[in-house]
Structure 1
């Protein structure tokens, strides 16, 4: 993720207006007891009743427009108004131009009905014009509204202090970006997304099971930044020292006492400090890839469509693409810091997209998901780029379509890295799914509960023995099946002496009641071991 260097004062972020929780609306004022008791009736501007009331002002003079600054709800009896039609129309236009929230007129002997010219101007401007059919105490109204405004502002100040304390604490503790975004989503009770400057999703928290919020993310985000997007989005830049790394985006949700924009701004400051502390331009992208690979392999998604939306929002096209998994097992047992970057660069050079991260359960295994427009150039390019250096075995899964296919291909690639001890010299052994038809069959049906039930039934005696005795019979069987007809190589793969290995095989045959020299038995057990390993 490359940041943008910003000129001083340059900012194209959509800025939200006043926070609803800080100010009452005209509609809410009309429901307050001092107003409701006077029997209010809305004669014009019903669509403007949700306008925010900044203050309440008693206005009896004809030149009141020059005394207001916008957002005021005016109270009047009409005593100081002219009866001239032109003057009344002029008053209406001046009040509309001044941006008042509305006008409340108490009817009485002096003004038994709303002046038609003034009412017409309010109707044309879409401003609320309300009449009171009973006498009202304007002092009680102003006290009630102002108390509400001051109380809300006090609550807001307290809430802002709590939010500032929360995100300052996260900054001081060095919390990672995903946790900071998760806290922002928890506080706001709505989906919150951290995107880079290219509108690709890096972190998404509190999205629904279907993750529909992420569908067509780039197009929707770009529209929101232009001010032409969906209502209710709040956007805040993540930047410091003239560098912008992305934006925090809060999707529609309930108001917050501190203000949604204030919460996002504090979270953005924490993210900027975290980013400065990392001093690594690719840190956020790397964490995003780790989360995606972990969610895919851990099957932490409710539906294929939702997972596809998350991948595509992160810049990994799924629809209409040929997908494949590549996995690399290293000699050192750890993934080099530059391996993922080499994989991504190789995919880009081949006209493909990719995400790469260490396997969540195997730190010495790099997993790469590749998305190509057609054929296998991306996966092959990634495999070639990673076959040198510390790589021992490279596994390349089958071509696939959609999230289930990608998962199967990645699992194939991971399983393939367990076959073979590694290449000679500095070049790794490359294993391809095309040479493992049984593996392809098992991964294609890996989510079928009948296959999992079959694997459990076949291997249960060995599983229970290993659990009771901290044993290794499953792994010994796997090594045996990976080197059929060559017990010497199988023993070496198990890191056991031949005599101990033969004892283990004899125990496996006794527990299973099967002959491991029978071809059909070997095939059945191999399918069961593959199914169990892929699901583990």
Structure 2
């Protein structure tokens, strides 16, 4: 079989099946390689890329006016017995077939045409129609049976695939599978990155292969808007239900799927929409979006800083030319939405998530992004409690200023490590507490942990036996060295009771609390237990 003359398919076809339907159809070359066609010794006179055209049906006819009976994508079989006698008529015939959008013209050579008409070859080449001749007589019914069997088999495969996809995502919806699991299943089924984005083109949940985050998510908002506007190679479907649109599913280029990539994505969109209708106003998407940003950052589960920065930027937390702060809030009843709303009010962007604190106490951890020319200050942080429910009971810890992702991770851990330090209504800036910063950087050192356990063991055990407060009293005393009145007030005890507690602590530990080195050792031990 010879191939020649690579030409593009014509752009105007009367029949326009979906991409999924086209993927299920055999191509011209696949049909020609079938044993039934090979028995006719086919020779390709005009081919190249035209042989990749999908064939929707096989038609046989000798009529010169057959074009008006066609819908496009057919492979036309003919012996040419009723074709026009003159070159002008043959040219008009081929031009009409091109206008009808056939996939290929196959002529069996014989009595009427012992050799292929040159004008047919030239016109087919000029109009981009694959033209094949058969050198050996073959029953056309055999060719149509073989071809239609392949066409129908492909369509049945596509139908089964669509049924399987619908079953999978219907099951996910009925089980109440979370949105991130639905997105993960979509990425697996499509073999390509899939992103659930908000109406503002923020990447809420991104299922991207490890190591490919930067390529997929960098400059996400601009590229997403372009895909919506210009319809580039990205596949985009809305997530709608009951007349309300919540966002979009975006699939990046990947292999064809037997059910059709758009069909798969639509089934995922239906599952997500049903989940939103059933979530009772909890806004599961927002919670998952925060987790998909902060969990990898806290756990260090990202391949490179560039990849994590791309994920943050795509999620609406800018990193370039910004200052980043880790913040921890303990106590009260703040919500992530309130914190993020406060951030917008002070010209910043934030993602907040409730996590277990180092001691098991619930803490809301916040990654805050502010313009590089406007660092976070006392005035801005002082406005935070006013934006929160029961803000007076919230203790705030601010990690160090960071200019890139790795430093932002350290800032988050600093805030978490020291979240127990400030009292309700107070703000602790770790940057201004050098000892706290040092101990945060050493939080995983077993020697530090051993020091805390060994030095404080007697009063820890006493507090556990008696439900006592010696650790709290010691912390107050060390936080106000030389001012026992202030220390007693911080411990919420009278001075006489406070002094009694100090004597008990000295007795249990066998130390002199007036000794400077002892104070330092005890302070480090207390802080290490809070890490």
TM range (shorter): 0.7 to 0.9
RMSD of the alignment, in Å?
3.8
How far 1:324 sits from its partner (Å)? 1.6
SS in 1 for 2:408: helix
2:295 is aligned to: 294
Match among 185, 205, 211 for residue 203 of structure 1? 205
2:385 is aligned to: 387
**8 A Cα contact 2:75 2:105, kept in partner:** yes
The answer to whether 1:218 aligns with 2:221 is: yes
1: distance between equivalents of 2:277 and 2:132?
A: 54
How far 1:329 sits from its partner (Å)? 0.9
**8 A Cα contact 1:106 1:134, kept in partner:** yes
1:405 is aligned to: 407
> Structure 1 residues 520-529 or 25-34, which shifts more?
520-529
**8 A Cα contact 1:215 1:313, kept in partner:** yes
2: distance between equivalents of 1:146 and 1:516?
A: 93
5+ residue gaps, structure 2: 1-16, 464-469, 493-500
- Aligned residue pairs total 483
- Which residues of 2 match residues 489-528 of structure 1 at below 5 A? 517=517
Structure-2 change in CA distance of 1:492 and 1:213 (3 Å): same
**8 A Cα contact 1:387 1:429, kept in partner:** no
1: distance between equivalents of 2:42 and 2:330?
A: 76
Match among 360, 364, 382 for residue 362 of structure 2? 364
1:5 is aligned to: none
2: distance between equivalents of 1:133 and 1:276?
A: 63
1:272 is aligned to: 273
Structure-2 change in CA distance of 1:94 and 1:343 (3 Å): same
**8 A Cα contact 2:326 2:366, kept in partner:** yes
How far 1:206 sits from its partner (Å)? 4.2
Encode CA deviations 1:161-209: one digit per residue, 9 max, x unaligned.
2322222222222222222222222222322211122221111124343
2: distance between equivalents of 1:503 and 1:21?
A: 83
2:260 is aligned to: 259
2:446 is aligned to: 456
SS in 1 for 2:402: coil
5+ residue gaps, structure 1: 1-14, 423-427, 508-514
The answer to whether 1:64 aligns with 2:62 is: no
1:311 is aligned to: 312
**8 A Cα contact 1:342 1:385, kept in partner:** no
How far 1:429 sits from its partner (Å)? 0.5
2:44 is aligned to: 42
**8 A Cα contact 1:394 1:416, kept in partner:** no
**8 A Cα contact 2:397 2:422, kept in partner:** no
2:496 is aligned to: none
2: distance between equivalents of 1:465 and 1:519?
A: 12
Match among 414, 417, 425 for residue 416 of structure 2? 414
How far 1:50 sits from its partner (Å)? 2.6
2: distance between equivalents of 1:501 and 1:114?
A: 108
**8 A Cα contact 2:20 2:259, kept in partner:** no
> Structure 1 residues 273-282 or 287-296, which shifts more?
273-282
Encode CA deviations 1:483-529: one digit per residue, 9 max, x unaligned.
74779979979xxx76886688579xxxxxxx993688679879977
1:431 is aligned to: 428
2: distance between equivalents of 1:92 and 1:465?
A: 96
1: distance between equivalents of 2:462 and 2:62?
A: 91
**8 A Cα contact 1:96 1:127, kept in partner:** yes
SS in 2 for 1:18: helix
- Which residues of 2 match residues 177-256 of structure 1 at below 5 A? 177-211=179-213, 212-229=215-232, 231=233, 233-256=234-257
**8 A Cα contact 2:336 2:352, kept in partner:** yes
How far 1:151 sits from its partner (Å)? 1.9
**8 A Cα contact 1:347 1:378, kept in partner:** no
Encode CA deviations 1:109-142: one digit per residue, 9 max, x unaligned.
5324433333333323333223334444433332
